[in-house]
Amino acid sequence: MTTTLVLEPTNDSDLHLLLSLAQRLGVKATASPAAKLSLEERERKFFALFGAWESDETGDEINEMLQKSRQSNRPDIEL
């Protein structure tokens, strides 16, 4: 069984401390590329995952369209 623990140190000094402690404890530890990125770079990469589009509809119109297009597989229940 493999368990993964993700630690996000805020600086290189803390990263090296954690890796050193893991080695002393006999724990397999690796630093992912994300651990080497600055906070600003990680935030930039995170926000790059989001998308946007232009539309002639207002937010309220889009919300109404989404609400009306919802479907339910539940049967009607009479009480």
CB contact at 8 A, 19 and 31: yes
Summarised one tens digit per residue, pLDDT across range 11-48 is 878 888 888 888 888 888 877 766 567 888 888 888 88
Residues near 20 by Cβ (< 8 Å), separated by ≥ 6? none
Q: Is 65 helix (H, G, I), strand (E, B) or coil?
A: helix
DSSP per position, 2-44: --------SSHHHHHHHHHHHHHHT------GGGGS-HHHHHH
Check residue 77 and give its pLDDT. Answer: 76
**Which tokens go with 58?**
């207002």
d(C-alpha 14, C-alpha 31), whole Å: 12
What's this model's pTM, rounded to 2 decimal places? 0.37
Domain parsing of the chain, residue ranges: 12-69
Summarised one tens digit per residue, pLDDT across range 68-78 is 998 877 777 77
